[in-house]
Amino acid sequence: MTAAVEGTRPGRVEVHGVHKAFGTLEVLRGVDLVVEPGTVTVVLGPSGSGKSTLLRSINHLEKVDRGFVALDGELVGYHRKPHRGTERLHELPEKDLLRQRTRFGFVFQSFNLFPHLTALENVVEAPVSAQGRRRSEVEAEARELLGRVGLADRAGAYPRQLSGGQQQRVAIARALAMRPAVLLFDEPTSALDPELVGEVLGVIEDLARDGTTMVVVTHEIGFARRAADRVVFMDAGRVVEAGPPEQVLDHPTHERTRAFLAKVL
């Protein structure tokens, strides 16, 4: 394992009674979820079930309407203030929110690399600008991480010179460079050509074997079977079923889960 990953303290994520609506559309309807440190949780479900919104709510890219998210017992995005004998939640100041958010690594489906920066520079930028770390130290770690994802020889390449799979592997290295407690993946292979999916899933599976805490939204059932400690099935903004992959994938108890798996397996 690289030094960057060794410096990570695994995080415990608690999602409690989370609701989120966009206008009149209720996307999350009281979601409860616990992710234990060092485990991989795979979130499955049909399009529109709330999977990506849940992921974005975990690191406060989306503000929840009700409920809360906590990382290692610390509220995400808010702090409690006494008010007339009770406690109210107040949103964190931007600088505190940004500091907190660095504890989450987020890998998007569309890569989101800076096109004017090389692969190495994409990995180095956030730890230097957001965490104030020394560029020389971060650059050494970034080279290690690019080697970790099989791209040691592509450090000087720009995103346009990389395949989609290579760009996504750079994005994973960039997320790891922040030494996050938790890695969040939002359908990391959905924008890739089928022949490139395996190389990205292989990197994620390596991270799983190393005990990296991860929440992965995906449609890749084979990956869920191989890498997940827990599979969560969502539908219509709710967690319908959750458990070990052999239970949820092979012996689902809910009719909605069975109907979904019958279409994708």
Calpha distance 45→184 (Å, rounded): 16
> Over the stretch 108-124, which tens digit does the pLDDT of each residue have?
999 999 999 999 999 99
Question: What pLDDT sits at residue 6?
Answer: 41
- pLDDT on residue 10: 64
- In the sheet that holds 13-22, the strands lie side by side as 25-35, 13-22, 66-71, 74-75
Q: Where are the beta strands (DSSP E) in 36-162?
A: 40-44, 66-71, 74-75, 78-83, 86-91, 104-107
Residue pLDDT tens, the chain, 265 long: 333 334 446 689 999 999 999 999 999 999 999 999 999 999 999 999 999 999 999 999 999 999 999 999 999 998 887 767 677 788 898 888 888 889 999 999 999 999 999 999 999 999 999 889 999 999 999 999 999 999 999 999 999 999 999 999 999 999 999 999 999 999 999 999 999 999 999 999 999 999 999 999 999 999 999 999 999 999 999 999 999 999 999 999 999 999 999 998 8
pLDDT value of position 34: 97
What residue segments make up the domains of the chain, in order of their start? Answer: 113-179
The reported pTM is 0.92
For 209-253, what is each residue's pLDDT tens digit? 999 999 999 999 999 999 999 999 999 999 999 999 999 999 999
Distance CA 69, CA 75 (A): 6
* Model pLDDT, residue 81: 77
Distances (CA, A) of 210 to 71, 111, 184, 193: 20, 23, 16, 27
